[in-house]
Copies of this chain bind each other. A is one copy, B any other.
Amino acid sequence: MADEGNLEAEKDPTSNIGNASAGPSLDMGCLTRVLGFHLRMANVAIFQDYQQTMAGLSLTPKQFTVLELVGCNPGVVQIDIAELLSMDKATTMALVDRLEARSLLERRPSRTDRRRKELFLTEEGKKVLQEARELIALHEKRFTSRFSEAELKSFVEQLRRIYRPLPD
């Protein structure tokens, strides 16, 4: 039992974060050993830079993702996007609604199964997507530049290991 499920806050020298530039330098307790915590912190850091970069286009990361998916898969339906991104179908609905309200994509009923609404980018949507790709490339570079080619490859592989249900 001494090793099972133990997240007691033993003191260790890496137990402080936040001593980056000024910061309060708090004791992080068990958080230093919680993968989800580091993942969330990394996500927040990337998101903040993303927001600054994309302020002009006002596309959230998820909105960009959907735009890219529709761009690369014309006629894709909501349910497939929902499954791929692990979203509820109601959530996906709201997301697509916003993009449609901005005339970046449109829904067209499938001719073979009229329950399904196929998604297509509008001309405006294609233009915005291309602009977004260019901005995101610059944004990404600010982070990927902290890694060598090999490091980046293994880092991405490890991230995929987290979100792939089982190694395949």
- The interface of chain A, by Cβ under 8 A from chain B, is 4-9, 17-21, 23-24, 26-31, 33-48, 50, 61-62, 65, 68-69, 71-73, 76, 80-81, 83-86, 133-134, 136-141, 143-144, 146-147, 151-152, 154-156, 158-168
In the complex the two chains form, what is the Cα distance from A165 to B6 in whole Å?
Answer: 30
B34 to A140, Cβ gap below 8 A?
yes
B41 to A163, Cβ gap below 8 A?
yes
Q: How far apart are A125's CB and chain B's nearest CB, in angstroms?
A: 14
A46 touches which of B35, B156, B164 (Cβ 8 Å): B35
Chain B residue at smallest Cβ distance from A9:
B72
Residues of chain B lying within 8 A (CB to CB) of residue A84: 17-18, 23-24, 26
Residues of chain B lying within 8 A (CB to CB) of residue A62: 40
Chain B residue at smallest Cβ distance from A47:
B36
In the complex the two chains form, what is the Cα distance from A48 to B85 in whole Å?
Answer: 12
B45 to A163, Cβ gap below 8 A?
yes
Give the 6 A-B residue pairs with the shortest CB-CB distance, closest first: A29-B72, A5-B137, A24-B80, A45-B163, A42-B162, A38-B159
Evaluate whether A158 and B151 lie within 8 angstroms (CB atoms) in the complex, with A7-B134, A140-B36 already known. Answer: yes
In the complex the two chains form, what is the Cα distance from A168 to B23 in whole Å?
Answer: 14
In the complex the two chains form, what is the Cα distance from A47 to B45 in whole Å?
Answer: 18
B37 to A65, Cβ gap below 8 A?
yes
